Structure 1
Amino acid sequence: MEKRKGYDFMNVWAWIGMLGIIILTPLSLLKKENRTKEEIRKVVVMEIIALTIIIAVLLFNVNYLLAIVVGFIVMIVFNKKTYTKKRLITYGAIILVIGIAVSYVFRDNPDYVLNHLIENPQTTSFYLAENGVELITYQSDVVRPLASTVKMLIAVEYAMQIDEGVLDKDRSVPLDELSRYYAKGTDGNAHVEWLKAMEGEGKVVENKVTLHDVAKGMVTYSSNANTDYLINLLRADAINERAISLGLTRHEEVYPIVGALLIPEYWKSESMNNEELIRGLEAIPIDEYRELAMHLSTQLKEEVIKIEDYTFDLPLKVQKVWSDRLIGASANNYGELLAVVSNEQLPEKAAETARDLLEWPMQLNVGNKKRFVHLGAKGGSTAFIVNDAMYAENHNGDKIEMVIFTDDLSLWQGMLIRNNLNSFESKLLGNEEYRLKIVKELSDL
C-alpha cells in the first residue's frame, strides 16, 4: 500500500536533524551581539530552506535526498561568502560530485531490479508467463505480504457481485461513510487525491459518489479507506471464498487494512514501551489478529469509535510488524489471478467490470494504447515492501502475466527499486531479448 510516501521512506533521524535545524538555528540570536542584519538574514534563509524541504517532501512527495541537495545549493547561493574565487571552485566541485552521484543513483537502471531478485532469494519472488506458458517461477510459491496488491482480488470479487446482481455499481455512496475509514497520513495522500479527482470531474453529487467510482479509487489511487469500505460491503468471507473458487490455494484470508492499522494503539497500554508492544503484537495468533482488525473496522463503520482518535504515529519497528502481518499470497497465485482476467475466464459482465478497474494504465498513459490492447496492474508498497502484478496483451495478441514481490527492504533498497521498477517492467514487456535474459538469469539459480 502507498503508505506515507514522504515520511516512511526516509530515516527518522533525518527528520530529527531537520527539526533540529529549525529549532536550534534561531538560538544564536539570543545573544545581542549576534543580532546583526547579516546574522538575521542567515537565520531567516536557513529556516525558509528547512521548511521548504519539509513541505516539498511531505506535501509534494519530492524525494528527500533531492530536496536536501537543492536546499544545499540554495544555501550556497544565498551565502555572500560564496562569491570568492576559492569558495566558488570548492562549492562548484562539491556540486559537481553531488550531481554525478545523484544522476548515477537515480538513472534508469532496470538491471538493479533483476540483480536485487538474484541476490535476495529469501525475500523476493518473481513470476512470468507468456501466452499461457510459465517462463519463470522464481520463489513463486512462497507466501509474502501483498500490501495493496490484494486489492486486485477485491476488485475481482466486486466485479463478480456486480455480475450476479448482488450490487449495483451506480448506487450512491455518501463520502461520510468512506471518511470513517480514512486515516490521515497513512496512504501517501491517495484518498485525498482521489477525492480531488472526483470533484474535478464533477462526480461528487450531494456529497455522494457512485459505488463504481469508489472501486476505481481503491485500484487507481489505492485508497485504503475505499478498500475497507468495500471489504465490509462485499464481506471478507465472500472474498476469501472467491479466492478458493479461483484456485488460489496459497492466499491468506482477507481482512481490513485500516482496521489493522488501529491495532497497535488499541492494544498498547500506557506503561508499555515500543519493544514490549512489538513483542506483544508478534505474539498475537494470526486468527485473533484478523478478528481484531475486523472488529475495529466494524466499530469504525458503526461509528462506535472514530478514526480521528488515533494518531498513527508509529515507529518504523512497529510499522514493520503491521507490514509483516499484511494479507499474504504467493506470486504464482497472483499470476493465476492475472490470467483469469487476461484470458477472460470470468463471466462477460464481470470480465468487463474487472478490466475497467484494473486497466487504469491504459487510461492514464496514452502511449500505452499504442503498445497494448490491454494492460492491467496493481502495485503495493509499505516502507519495507514493493510489489507489482500486471498483465499485458499487445496488438499481435501476445499475452504476458508478471508478478514481482519484494520484502524486508531497507530504505535505500526500497527507494532504488521504486525508482527502477517501471523501466524494468517496460523493458521486460517490450524487449524479447531482455525477457530471455531474465529467464536465463533466474532459471539458473
Structure 2
Amino acid sequence: MKLLIIGLLLLLILIIAFVVSGIAVNKHNMKKNKYDLLNYFKNHKVSLSLTIKENGRNTLAINPDKKYPLASTTKIIIAYNFVKSAMNNKISIAEKVKLNELEKFYIKDTDGGAHPNWKYSINYPTEVSLLEIAKGMMQYSSNACTDFLIHKIGVDVVNESIEVLQLNHDKITYLTSPIIMPGYLSDKRKPALNKLDAMSSQSYHELANELFVKMQANRSDYLKEKTPNMLDRKMQLLITKRMAYSTTNQYTDLMLRLGKELLTKKEKSYLVK
C-alpha cells in the first residue's frame, strides 16, 4: 500500500512538472516577436531558403536559387493540374469518391493530424466529391488526399506540367508510399536506412509507384503496421531528402504567374470554392 501511495505521489509530481514546464515554454513562445524570426533567419541562413517578392522584384532573398526538398509545397503543382484537368473535362470536380478509398493512403500519425482534421471538418461522410478532396489537400494538407489526386490526374501528367512550366524542379512522386518504403526494404531500421540511402532516383520512383499500387489494392496493411518502428529521426530526414527539390525563387515566380497568366479567371474560381 505504501509503495502504491509513493508511486502515485511520484506520478503526480511528474504531471505537475510537465504542466509547469509546458506553461513556461508557452509563456516563452508568447514573448517571441518578429525579431526572434529575423534572428532565426540570421543564425540559420545556411540551411534555409526564403524569397519575398513585391511587384515582381525580390525584397528579401536568402538562398533564393538553392534547391531544397519541398514536402507539401508540391501540392501547389497538384492543385494547378487539378484545375487544368477539370477545365479540360478530364476529371469532374463533382465526381463522388468513397471515403474508404482515401483511407487506403492514410498512415496514422504521419501527417500532423491533417487527414483526420479534414474528415472531422466534413463530418465523416461515406463519400466526398473531388472538389472536397482538393480542399482536403490545400486547406488541411492531407497527404492521402494529395496522393489520390496525383493518381486521378496522372503522375506523368503532373511531371509533364513541370516541364511545360519550365521549372527547375525535380520529379514529383507520391507522398505516402515512401513512408512505408523502409518496412518494405527490411525488417530492421539500419539495413532499410542504408538501402534507401543507396537507391537511385529512378529506383526510388519506381518503388514508390509499386507501393502505391499495393496501398490502392489494400495490400499494404502489414507495411503500415511496421512504419511506427521504422520512422526514427534519421529515417524521416532521409525520406525528406528523397522528396522533390526546387527553389523558393521558382515558387514565388510560379505564384506570380498563376495570378497573372497561367490561370484564367474561371480557373482561379476553382481555387477559392
What TM-score comes out, normalization by structure 2 length? 0.89
Are 1:345 and 1:351, in contact at CA under 8 Å, matched by a contact in 2?
no
Question: Following TM superposition, by how much is the alpha carbon of 1:71 offset from its aligned partner in structure 2, in angstroms?
Answer: 5.4
Question: Following TM superposition, by how much is the alpha carbon of 1:299 offset from its aligned partner in structure 2, in angstroms?
Answer: 1.8
Q: Which residue type is aligned with residue 81 of structure 2?
A: E
Question: Following TM superposition, by how much is the alpha carbon of 1:265 offset from its aligned partner in structure 2, in angstroms?
Answer: 0.5
Instruction: Give the match for residue 343 of structure 1.
Output: 260
Question: Following TM superposition, by how much is the alpha carbon of 1:235 offset from its aligned partner in structure 2, in angstroms?
Answer: 0.9
Instruction: Give the match for residue 378 of structure 1.
Output: none
Question: Following TM superposition, by how much is the alpha carbon of 1:329 offset from its aligned partner in structure 2, in angstroms?
Answer: 1.1
The answer on 1:159 being equivalent to 2:83 is yes
Question: Following TM superposition, by how much is the alpha carbon of 1:72 offset from its aligned partner in structure 2, in angstroms?
Answer: 6.7
Question: Following TM superposition, by how much is the alpha carbon of 1:310 offset from its aligned partner in structure 2, in angstroms?
Answer: 3.0
Structure 1 229/68 Cα, relative in aligned 2: closer, same or farther at 3 Å? farther
Are 2:50 and 2:64, in contact at CA under 8 Å, matched by a contact in 1?
yes
Structure 1 69/310 Cα, relative in aligned 2: closer, same or farther at 3 Å? closer
Instruction: Give the match for residue 220 of structure 1.
Output: 139
Residue number among 116, 126, 140 corresponding to 1:192 in the alignment: 116
Mapped partners of 1:354, 1:320: distance in 2: 31
Are 1:300 and 1:307, in contact at CA under 8 Å, matched by a contact in 2?
no
Question: Following TM superposition, by how much is the alpha carbon of 1:353 offset from its aligned partner in structure 2, in angstroms?
Answer: 1.3
SS at match of 2:176: helix
Instruction: Give the match for residue 258 of structure 1.
Output: 176
Instruction: Give the match for residue 59 of structure 2.
Output: 135
Question: Following TM superposition, by how much is the alpha carbon of 1:46 offset from its aligned partner in structure 2, in angstroms?
Answer: 4.3
Mapped partners of 1:277, 1:303: distance in 2: 23
Mapped partners of 2:149, 2:265: distance in 1: 22
Mapped partners of 2:91, 2:26: distance in 1: 50
Are 1:240 and 1:254, in contact at CA under 8 Å, matched by a contact in 2?
yes
Residue number among 281, 291, 296 corresponding to 2:206 in the alignment: 291
Question: Following TM superposition, by how much is the alpha carbon of 1:354 offset from its aligned partner in structure 2, in angstroms?
Answer: 2.7
Larger of the two Rg values belongs to structure: 1
Instruction: Give the match for residue 7 of structure 2.
Output: 43
Instruction: Give the match for residue 185 of structure 2.
Output: 267
Mapped partners of 1:286, 1:298: distance in 2: 19
RMSD of aligned C-alpha atoms?
2.5
Residue number among 91, 97, 101 corresponding to 1:173 in the alignment: 97
Mapped partners of 2:249, 2:211: distance in 1: 32
SS at match of 2:68: strand
Mapped partners of 2:146, 2:156: distance in 1: 15
% identical equivalent positions: 27
C-alpha offsets along residues 119-153 of structure 1, whole Å, 9 cap, x if unaligned?
33331111111122232332111110111111111
Instruction: Give the match for residue 225 of structure 2.
Output: 310
Mapped partners of 1:287, 1:324: distance in 2: 15
Are 2:85 and 2:91, in contact at CA under 8 Å, matched by a contact in 1?
yes
Structure 1 72/122 Cα, relative in aligned 2: closer, same or farther at 3 Å? closer
Q: Which residue type is aligned with residue 352 of structure 1?
A: S
Are 2:104 and 2:216, in contact at CA under 8 Å, matched by a contact in 1?
yes
Question: Following TM superposition, by how much is the alpha carbon of 1:221 offset from its aligned partner in structure 2, in angstroms?
Answer: 1.0
Mapped partners of 1:230, 1:68: distance in 2: 45
Mapped partners of 2:225, 2:115: distance in 1: 17
SS at match of 1:257: coil
Are 1:190 and 1:222, in contact at CA under 8 Å, matched by a contact in 2?
yes
Structure 1 103/298 Cα, relative in aligned 2: closer, same or farther at 3 Å? same
C-alpha offsets along residues 2-56 of structure 1, whole Å, 9 cap, x if unaligned?
xxxxxxxxxxxxxxxxxxxxxxxxxxxxxxxxx23xx534423544676xx6xxx
Question: Following TM superposition, by how much is the alpha carbon of 1:337 offset from its aligned partner in structure 2, in angstroms?
Answer: 1.8
5 Å-filtered alignment, 1:35-74, equals: 35-36=1-2, 40-47=4-11, 68-70=17-19
Gaps of 5+ in 2: none
Deviating runs (4+, > 6 A) in structure 1? none
Mapped partners of 1:331, 1:150: distance in 2: 12
Mapped partners of 1:289, 1:308: distance in 2: 17
The answer on 1:301 being equivalent to 2:250 is no
Instruction: Give the match for residue 76 of structure 1.
Output: none
Aligned residue pair count = 271
Structure 1 68/187 Cα, relative in aligned 2: closer, same or farther at 3 Å? farther
Mapped partners of 1:72, 1:216: distance in 2: 37
Mapped partners of 2:129, 2:86: distance in 1: 13
SS at match of 2:49: strand
